[in-house]
């Protein structure tokens, strides 16, 4: 099947979740909470209502709205569901109060984890403790996502079709969209900066201190980075 057919098949089999192709190398897994109707109108809500009761809050407020189950709490539940999974770093979240939205440059990963997450959500007994634990750790999950977004890895996840000119503490490097895919897939193990060879993850984990899109080329992004708390480790002089 081609990309369009794969997405159509996923969307048919995994309602109310659906995938969107942004035509720029990025795909999104979506769950628009305010627009779910029919048999999935209260999808996953029992788990969030159970959390409200657990902490001594009413599941529904005086206006008739659920007190828990917004997009940020869905994000926390997803992170909790796949805690410790190395592929969790491949996803970039763009959630809001009214929806759960997760981006990835790899359609296969989005299909796999979207389907797995739906299966978890459909099992209320299994989903309820995940929701509870996830919300209790929500600040941690959101902080980790914010930290990821401010790294080279996060920038590549957010802009997989862009070219990056990166000024690192050890020299300059250009990352093409082809390089981005190989780096994120783990197929490129080393990068060359300033005449030395570094492990790829050491570049990916660097923190962004400046970022600007080129005024005349929106697909070119320039960044200046700094090393994270631990310094770049293994390198080999060429």
- Domains of the chain by residue range: 3-149, 154-237
Examine the pLDDT at 113 and tell me if it is beyond 70. Answer: yes
55-111 tens-digit pLDDT: 999 999 999 999 999 999 999 999 999 999 989 989 999 999 999 999 998 999 999
User: Residue 208 forms beta bridges with which residues?
Assistant: 225
What confidence tens digit (pLDDT) does each residue in 173-202 have? 999 999 999 999 889 999 999 889 999 999
- Whether residue 157 contacts residue 87, with contact meaning beta carbons closer than 8 Å, is answered with no
Beta strands in 78-189 (DSSP E): 92-93, 99-104, 163-168, 171-175
Query: What confidence tens digit (pLDDT) does each residue in 114-163 have?
Result: 999 999 999 999 999 999 999 999 988 888 888 988 999 999 988 888 99
User: Measuring CA to CA, how many Å separate 210 from each of 9, 188, 206, 216?
Assistant: 41, 25, 12, 18
Residue 201 CA, distance from chain mean position: 17
Residue with tokens 């409200």: 52
Question: Helix, strand or coil for residue 176?
Answer: coil
Q: Whole-angstrom Cα distance, residue 153 to residue 142?
A: 16
CA distance 192 to 202: 11
Between CA 65 and CA 80 the distance in angstroms is: 25
Kindly state the DSSP code that residue 210 receives in the 8-state scheme: E
């Amino acid at each position: 099947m081609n990309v369009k057919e794969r997405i159509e098949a996923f969307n048919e089999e995994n309602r109310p979740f659906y995938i969107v192709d942004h035509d720029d190398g990025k795909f999104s897994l979506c769950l628009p909470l305010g627009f779910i109707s029919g048999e999935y109108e209260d999808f996953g809500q029992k788990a969030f209502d159970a959390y409200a009761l657990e902490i001594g809050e009413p599941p529904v407020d005086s206006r008739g709205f659920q007190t828990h189950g917004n997009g940020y709490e869905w994000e926390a539940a997803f992170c909790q569901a796949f805690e410790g999974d190395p592929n969790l770093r491949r996803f970039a979240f763009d959630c809001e109060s009214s929806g759960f939205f997760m981006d990835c440059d790899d359609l296969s990963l989005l299909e796999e984890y979207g389907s797995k997450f739906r299966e978890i959500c459909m099992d209320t007994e299994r989903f309820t403790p995940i929701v509870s634990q996830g919300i209790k750790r929500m600040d941690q999950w959101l902080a980790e996502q914010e930290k990821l977004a401010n790294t080279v890895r996060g920038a590549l996840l957010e802009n997989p079709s862009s070219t990056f000119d990166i000024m690192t503490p050890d020299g300059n490097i250009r990352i093409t969209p082809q390089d981005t895919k190989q780096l994120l897939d783990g197929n490129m193990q080393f990068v060359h900066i300033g005449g030395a060879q570094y492990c790829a993850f050491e570049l990916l984990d660097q923190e962004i201190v400046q970022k600007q899109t080129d005024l005349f080329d929106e697909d070119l992004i320039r960044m200046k980075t700094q090393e994270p708390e631990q310094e770049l480790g293994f390198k080999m002089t060429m």
